[in-house]
Amino acid sequence: MSDRRVRVRFAPSPTGPLHMGGVRTALYNYLFAKKLGGDFLLRIEDTDQARFVPGAEQYIVDALAWCGISPDEGIGVGGRLADHGPHAPYRQSDRKPIYRQYADQLLAAGHAYFAFDTPEELEAIRERAKSAGNPNWQYNSITRTSMKNGLTLPEDEVSRLLASGHPYVIRVKMPRNEEVKFEDRIRSWVSVNTLNLDDKVLLKGDGMPTYHLANVVDDHLMEISHVIRGEEWLPSAPLHVLLYRFFGWEQPEFAHLPLLLRPDGNGKLSKRDGDRLGFPVFPLNWVNEETHETASGYRERGFYPSGFVNMLAFLGWNPGTNQEIFTLDELVEAFSIDKVHRAGARFDFEKATWFNQQHLRQRSPEVLVEEYRAGVQAEYGIAVSEDFAAKAIALFLDRAEFVSDLVGAAPYLFARPDAYEPQTVAKKWTSESGSHLGQLVALWEATDYREESLEAAFKAFLADSGLGFGAVGPVLRLAIAGTTQGPSIFGVMELIGRLECEARVAQAVAQLSPA
C-alpha cells in the first residue's frame, strides 16, 4: 500500500490463557514484521472489564516469551509485564481517556450519534423481534429511526438527557446503501454492502470504547501498517475500513488468517476443547483459579518451543518447497504472507509430535546432555555424569520424540527390573538359561565391559556353544532390563556397569530358575 515502516501488532484480550490459535496469529505477525525489518508490538485489549481474568496478561507474555516471539514494543518487551515504547500505554484500559475525543470527532462529523436505549430495552426489542420471526434484530439505518437516540430525539431533549446523567452509548451511523471494498492480503477483494452492517456501539456506557473503536484508534496512533488477525474478524473489517475513512486516516493493509479447526468433527479449535481431545490447546499449563483445574500446555507436555512454533507455522502456511523443519530464524527468512493458505487447517497432534521429534534430533549434543541430566534428576533423583548422559542419549535418541522419552523409556538404567515380561519368560526362559548367563558373566569378567567387547564375547560364546542368538539374546535382555524392547543390550550393560549387571543376572536367575 504505502512505503511506511512495517509495524504489526498482536492484540489479545486477557480473558484467559492464550490458546494455540492465538499463538499462531502472534507468530505470523512476528514473522511478517521480522522478515520485512519491521516492528512487532504486543497490545492488550482489555476494554471489557467484566471479562478480565487475573493472570491472563502474565500468561500471554510468558507464552510468547517461551515461543521466542519477542515484542519490540508494547507489553512484554524483554518478557516483562510493563509498557515499553513511544506509544505507551499499550494496555487499552490505561488508554481510556484517549478514545472519547475520537468518538466526539465522529459525532461532530455526523458519523456517530448518541443512543439512550438501555440494554434492557434492547433486549426486550430483540425478544419481541424473535417471537415475531426475526431472529436477528439489528440496530441499523432502518431501526434507528424508531429508537431513542440523538437522531430521533429533539436537540434539547438530547442535551437534557446528557446533562441528567442518563446512560448512553455512542454508535456509528452506518451509511444506508454503500458498497465497502477492501483488498485483503490473503483473500483478495472483499466487498460488503452497508445494508448488511449495523450501527455498532463505539463507546460503551462505562466510557470504554468497544473493540472496533479502540482497535482503529490505537492502530492509527501506533502507526500500524498491517493488521494481521484471525478470520473471525472478517465480518467487522468493513466497519473498520469505514472508520478509517470517517477519520480521514490512512488505512492499514488487512490480512485475515484462516482458522485452526478441531481434529474431530467441525468448528474452530476453542479453549474449551482443552484436554478433551487428548492434546493441549495451550502453549503453557494454565491453572484455573476458580476450579483449580489445570489445562495442559505444550511446554509441560515436553515440546520444544522451536518444535511447537515450527508446527504452528505450518498450519496454514507453506514455504512452497519441500523443507518442513525450520528454526524460528529460518521461518522469518522463509515467511511470506502471500503463501498463507485460505482454508481453515485441521490440527493433527501426531504431526505435531513429529515436528518435535525432528527438533529433538537437531539439538546440539551439549544442550541435550544437560536436558537429559536435568530430566533424570527430576524423574529419578539421580545425578548422572555427562559421559553417562551422552552415551544414554546415543542409545535412545532414535526412539524418542521428546526429551522425556529419553528419560522415561529406560527406567532400567536407574533401577533393577522388578518384574520380567511374562510372555517372554514363558517363551524363552529355559532350564538352561541360568547356566548360559552364568557362563557369560564369567566370560565378560575378562573384558573391559565396553559395548563392543561384551558383544564380541557374547558372539564367541554362541559360536562355541552352538547356540543361536534367539536362545540367549532375549534371556539376557530379560535379565538386564526386564523387557525385550530397547536398544543394544550391550550398550545398556556398558552404561550400568559390571557390578550392576552381575547383580541383575543373579537376581533374574534366582527368580526365574529357583534352585
Partner RNA sequence: GGCCCGUUCGUCUAGCGGUUCAGGACAUCUCCCUUUCACGGAGAAGAUCACGGGUUCAAAUCCCGUACGGGUCACCA
Which of 485, 503, 510, 511 is the binder for RNA (CB under 7 A)? Answer: 485
Backbone φ/ψ region at 362: left (φ over 0), alpha (ψ -120 to 50), beta: alpha
**Minimum separation from the CB atom of position 193 to RNA (A):** 7
Question: Is 271 in the active site?
Answer: yes
Region 5-34 residues binding RNA, contact defined as CB under 7 A: 11-13, 15
Which of 233, 244, 380, 414 is the binder for RNA (CB under 7 A)? Answer: 233
**Minimum separation from the CB atom of position 138 to RNA (A):** 5
Region 35-64 residues binding RNA, contact defined as CB under 7 A: 45, 47-48, 51
Beta-strand relationship, 294-295 and 286-287:
antiparallel
Cβ proximity to RNA, 84 vs 204, nearer residue: 204
> What number of chain residues touch RNA (CB under 7 A)?
83
Q: What is d(CA 52, CA 49) in angstroms, rounded to the nearest whole number?
A: 5
Region 80-99 residues binding RNA, contact defined as CB under 7 A: none
**Minimum separation from the CB atom of position 13 to RNA (A):** 3
- Residue 258 binds to RNA (criterion: CB under 7 A): yes
- Contact window for RNA (CB under 7 A) among 26-34, 204-212, 367-375, 439-447: 204-212
Long-range contacts of 299-306 (CB under 8 A, 24+ apart): 299/66, 301/402, 302/356, 302/402, 302/403, 302/404, 302/405, 303/352, 303/356, 303/402, 304/356, 304/359, 304/360, 304/363, 305/66, 305/67, 305/68, 306/68, 306/359
Cβ proximity to RNA, 3 vs 398, nearer residue: 398
Which residue type is seen at 478? L
Region 158-187 residues binding RNA, contact defined as CB under 7 A: 167, 169, 187
Which of 1, 142, 287, 343 is the binder for RNA (CB under 7 A)? Answer: 343
**Minimum separation from the CB atom of position 21 to RNA (A):** 11
Instruction: Please tell me whether residue 331 adopts helix, strand or coil conformation.
Output: helix
Residue 308 vs residues 158, 272, 297, 299, 357: alpha-carbon distances, Å: 55, 20, 11, 9, 11
Cβ proximity to RNA, 20 vs 169, nearer residue: 169
- Residue 494 binds to RNA (criterion: CB under 7 A): no
Expressed in angstroms, the distance from the first to the final Cα of the chain is 87
The widest CA-to-CA distance across the chain, in whole angstroms, is 112
Exposed/middle/buried for residue 341 (C-beta within 10 Å: 0-12, 13-18, 19+): middle
On whether the CB atoms of residues 271 and 283 are closer than 8 A, the answer is: no
Which of 192, 337, 407, 495 is the binder for RNA (CB under 7 A)? Answer: 192
Geometric angle at alpha carbon 31, from 268 and 249, rounded to 5°? 85
- Contact window for RNA (CB under 7 A) among 196-204, 247-255, 368-376, 436-444: 196-204
- Residue 351 binds to RNA (criterion: CB under 7 A): yes
Which of 155, 156, 350, 418 is the binder for RNA (CB under 7 A)? Answer: 350
- Residue 316 binds to RNA (criterion: CB under 7 A): yes
**Minimum separation from the CB atom of position 486 to RNA (A):** 5
Region 264-303 residues binding RNA, contact defined as CB under 7 A: 266-268
Which of 78, 110, 119, 497 is the binder for RNA (CB under 7 A)? Answer: 119
Q: Residue 16: which of 259, 211, 283, 286 has the closest Cα?
A: 286
Which of 70, 93, 118, 285 is the binder for RNA (CB under 7 A)? Answer: 118
Which of 110, 365, 470, 497 is the binder for RNA (CB under 7 A)? Answer: 470
User: Which set of grid coordinates corresponds to residue 201?
Assistant: 456501539
- Residue 348 binds to RNA (criterion: CB under 7 A): yes
Cβ proximity to RNA, 305 vs 474, nearer residue: 474
User: String of b and e for 263-292 (b: at least 16 CB within 10 Å)?
Assistant: eeeeeebebebbeeeebbbbbbbbeeeeee
Element at 24 (helix H, strand E): helix 20-35
Cβ proximity to RNA, 17 vs 209, nearer residue: 209
What is the strand order of the sheet 226-230 is part of? 83-84, 73-75, 39-42, 7-10, 226-230, 253-257, 179-184, 188-193
Which of 138, 285, 447, 507 is the binder for RNA (CB under 7 A)? Answer: 138
**Minimum separation from the CB atom of position 398 to RNA (A):** 4
Point out the catalytic residue in the list 35, 96, 268, 271.
271
Name residue, grid cell 468448528. Answer: 267
Cβ proximity to RNA, 261 vs 331, nearer residue: 261
Residues identified as active-site: 271
